[in-house]
Each structure stands twice: as C-alpha cells, then as structure tokens.
Structure 1
Amino acid sequence: MSIEIELRRARVRYGPLEALHGVDLPVPAGGAPTVLLGRNGSGRTTVLRALAGTVPLAGGQVLWRGTDITRLRAHDRARRGLCFVPDGHAVHPSLTVAENLELALAVPLAAPGDDITPALTAYPALRALLPRRAGTLSGGEQRMLAVSRAFLSRARVVLLDEPTQGMSPPMAARTYELLAALAPTTTVVLAEQRLPPALLSRTTRFPVFLHELRRGAVVFSGEASEPRYAHSRPSPTE
C-alpha cells in the first residue's frame, strides 16, 4: 500500500489546548476514500487542517509522498495539487455561483479549455443558480457549490469536512457516489461523524480505509469491513 500523504507524531495546539496528541495518520494513495471518524471535538477536523496547512504543527511532520511539507504554507500546498473543502465558510458569499465556480478553476493544475461543466454535470441543480450570490443559497446548496470544487480542481489530494452536511438524503447519496468515482485516481479524505453507508455501497472495488479519532488521538485504523463497523455496512438491497 503506497502512502499519498500522512501525519507523523503530529501535535496541534489552539492556545493552551492541545487538539492532536502526537498523531500518526497515513492516507493511502487512490483507491476508495479514506474516512476520518469522530464526534465533535475528536480532532478529525484538525487532522484535515493540519494536512491542508491551515493550522501549524506544534510538533511532528506532514509528509506528502515522502517529502516533508510541514513548513509549506497552505496556498503552496494548493498549488501542488491539494484541495481543502472546510465545513464552514467554504464559499465566497458575495460572489455569484458562476463566479465561485470560475474561481475554482484558477489553480495551477487547470488545463487550457477547462470550464465549469464538470460541476454542473455533478450537480445539475447549480445551473439554475449560476446568477445567484452564494450567500443567498440554502445550506445544502452551498455545500453542493463547495464540494463541486473537488471536480474542478484537478487536485491530487482532496480533503472534505462533512461534505454532505445540510444536503437532502438523495443528494448526499449522489455526492458519495461522485466522490467514490473520483477516488481511484485522486486521494480523497472525508471527515465524518459516522461511517456513511451510501459510501460503502459505491466502493466495492476498493476497501474503505478509516481512522477513528477520540480526544485528539487515533484509537483505530483499519478497513471498514472490520467487525466493529459491520453495523454500518449497507444491506444487499441498498
């Protein structure tokens, strides 16, 4: 198993509070999405931020394909092909939907002739919203717009914090299907409170790898087929 990106003995502090306590967390390259599981306050969002470079490490390293990028700033990681979709403030509210999508194309990995078509194919509902300001959209619509960056960025690594928050169940299922289809050629990492059954039903070719966090530490790393997660697997009729 080749590792795309990882934390080694990573510590993150918010003032006097240590949010990650020497975390080792490898993310396999490609395959199915990797899932970070945990309740609010478990450290899963901080792991994404540490990988993306939006919070500094108080100790440890971030490695990308074996290269130490601990001191590489967030926008430089983005230039190298990392796309981070946070759980909040993920769109530019004063810009239109069309302007948000066009801005997502303004990345070094974009190729001549790239346009917003992949986002509209992923989420056809966005087409009617193109002239609307993003700040006027519903929570689910804003999440669609935010997640659509993953399909426009040509990123090598995509980090998403609760990507389906606020979406309807059918749209959430579609989003997991889209991300599962993206994962074989792109390393996708999702932070979730629970293991999404809809994701498991779309990733039969590759095992879903997960890390469970609790109070800033990893308490389990392995495949979602482990017995402790059997209750999360979809039934044969799903």
Structure 2
Amino acid sequence: MQRGVQLRTAHVHYGPLEALHGVTLAAPAGTVTVLLGRNGSGRTTALRALAGTVPLTAGSVHWDGVDVTRRTAHRRAAAGLCFVPDRQAVFAGLTVAENLRLAAPDGDVTAALDAYPELRPFLGRRAGTLSGGEQRMLAVSRALLSRARVVLVDEPTQGMSPQAASRTYALLRALDACVVLAEQRLPPGLRTDGTARGGGAGGAAAVLVYELGRGAVVFSGEAGELSGPGGSASCRR
C-alpha cells in the first residue's frame, strides 16, 4: 500500500467548465509534492480536490490506499488533513493568539512562535488587521501546530519577505507529514535535493513535481529534472 494522497483520473467541473481533465497524481508520505502551473492551470483545483472542498465529477481521491472520494472536507480534516487555502486561511475576527490556540491540540503555541517570531508582537491583535505576509505566516504556523498527517498549502509564502519564505519552505520540508503545495513556479527553497526523512528524522524531504496546464498534467518528476529559469518544464511539452 502506498501511503500518502492520490488523485486518480480526477475530473472537476465549475458549472459547464471542466477544470480538471482526468488528472492522476500521487503525493507520497515523507515527501513534498509541488503542483506547478499558471493561473487557470488546475493546480489550485487539484489541491482543493484532495482537500474535499470541491467535488469530483469523475475519478477518485485516495488516502493511504483508501478511497475517500465521498468523505467531506470536514471528515478529512478530522482524520488528520490540514488545508491552507490561498485566501481566508485565518479567522480574521480572532486574535493571533486565539488562532494559534485553536490549531494546537494541547494549547502549546511555542513551536509556532519559534518558527515565526515576527508574530509575537501581534498576539493580541485581530488576525484580519495583519499584512498579507503576516497572515500567511499565521496560516502556515497553524498548520505546523496541527500535527496533521497531510498538509496542503496553496501558495504558502505569498507576501512574505525572501527570508521568511526561505524559512517557510525549510519548515514544510522538515514536517513529518505528506506535504502538497500549489505554486506558480518552483521556489528556490525547493530546488535543492533532499533526503527522504523516514519517520521525520534528519534531512529535508525529497521534492516531487507535477506541472499542470489547462487542467492536465504536462510533466511529472523530481525537482532536479525541471528546466528553465523559474523551474518550468514547458520546453518538454
């Protein structure tokens, strides 16, 4: 049995428009899998299909070999899946501290503040008053606290400084989880080779890439196989 999450010949429609055309991809446990593509390529839809926030019109979703296509997003979350969308990823009306405490099973938010000390001065502020980059830090730190088995993040570093972005990718690669990210281009922090963790000990996770175009997979392989200045496989199409 392959551990991790998979889409198998997945089709998704938004009204009469088909956003995914039979997409098949596998995100194994112990790796970071990156879904690349321009706006409209289907990368965000694929992530949402894994999370259960958009229904499939055909195909299936599997988690650790079990068909979870009919499980709601709420049930997937309760089973250990954490989804960080690109927008409205925090509770805007709650304080930063309240957002963090809700995500921490034991109420201890130390790990989040160690990861993002920039958030410490804002613990008493409402999350909706933070800048875009600060809200992304808060959203990712909530994912770090959740201890989820599967972590799905759409554009995790949007609005962050280069230093904070680099730290974020290192944190995500160090998670003892199946991590799936949606990005427009392969970030520098994910281009280097990693060593699969094996139980979360030592080394950074290996990085796998699926590039999507117009709702279909146009490239799949390891990060090092990509060509182009931004990590694109467009010349292989």
Same fold (TM over 0.5): yes
What TM-score does the superposition give when structure 2 sets the normalisation length?
0.90
**Structure 2 counterparts to residues 159-170 of structure 1, below 5 A:** 159-170=152-163
Q: How far apart in 2 are the matches of 1:159 and 1:204?
A: 19
Distance apart, 1:3 and its partner CA: 4.0
8 Å Cα contact 2:33/2:209 also seen in 1:
yes
Task: Provide the rounded CA distance (Å) in 2 between the counterparts of 1:123 and 1:230.
Answer: 29
SS of 2:181's equivalent in the other structure is strand
Are the structure 2 counterparts of residues 135 and 231 from structure 1 closer, same or farther at C-alpha, using a change threshold of 3 Å? closer
Partner of 2:114: 121
Q: Does 1:187 align with 2:181?
A: no
Aligned-pair Cα RMSD in Å? 1.7
Q: Write the distance in 1 (CA, Å) between the matches of 2:76 and 2:134.
A: 27
Partner SS, residue 178 of structure 1: helix
**Percent of matched pairs sharing the same residue:** 67
Structure 1 alignment gaps of length 5 or more: 234-238
Equivalent-residue separation in structure 1 for 2:27 and 2:169 (angstroms):
18
Matches within 5 A, 1:24-173: 24-31=24-31, 33-105=32-104, 110=105, 113-173=106-166
Partners in 2 of 1:91 and 1:151 — Cα distance?
14
User: 1:18: Cα distance to partner?
Assistant: 0.6
Alpha-carbon separation, structure 2, partners of 1:21 and 1:149: 32
* Cα separation, partners in 2 of 1:227 and 1:20, compared to 1, 3 Å: closer
Q: Which residue of 2 aligns with 1:7?
A: 7
Which amino acid in structure 2 is aligned with residue 225 of structure 1? G
CA distance in 2, matches of 1:231, 1:161: 18
- Please, which of 172, 195, 198 is the counterpart of residue 205 of structure 1? 195
Q: Secondary structure at the match of 1:177?
A: helix
| 1:129 Cα offset (Å) | 0.6
Deviation for aligned residue 1:37 = 0.4
Q: 8 Å contact 2:84–2:154 — kept in the other structure?
A: yes
Q: Is the 8 A contact 2:190 2:223 kept in 1?
A: no
Aligned equivalents of 2:77, 2:220: Cα separation in 1: 27
Count of aligned pairs: 223
For 1:145 and 1:231, the matched residues in 2 are separated by: 27
Is there any run of 5+ residues in structure 2 with no aligned partner, and where?
197-205, 233-237
Task: Provide the secondary structure at the position in 2 that maps to 1:22.
Answer: strand
Aligned residues of 1:20 and 1:217 also touching (Cα < 8 A): yes
Amino acid at match of 1:141: E
Q: 2:227 aligns to what SS in structure 1?
A: helix
Q: Is the 8 A contact 1:11 1:19 kept in 2?
A: yes
- Measured at CA, do residues 231 and 53 of structure 1 come closer, stay the same or move farther in structure 2, by a change above 3 Å? closer
1:175-230 alpha-carbon deviations (Å, 9 max, x no partner): 01111111xx21111100001112234x5324311000000001111111115368
CA distance in 2, matches of 1:87, 1:231: 21
Q: Is contact 1:11-1:59 (8 Å) kept?
A: yes
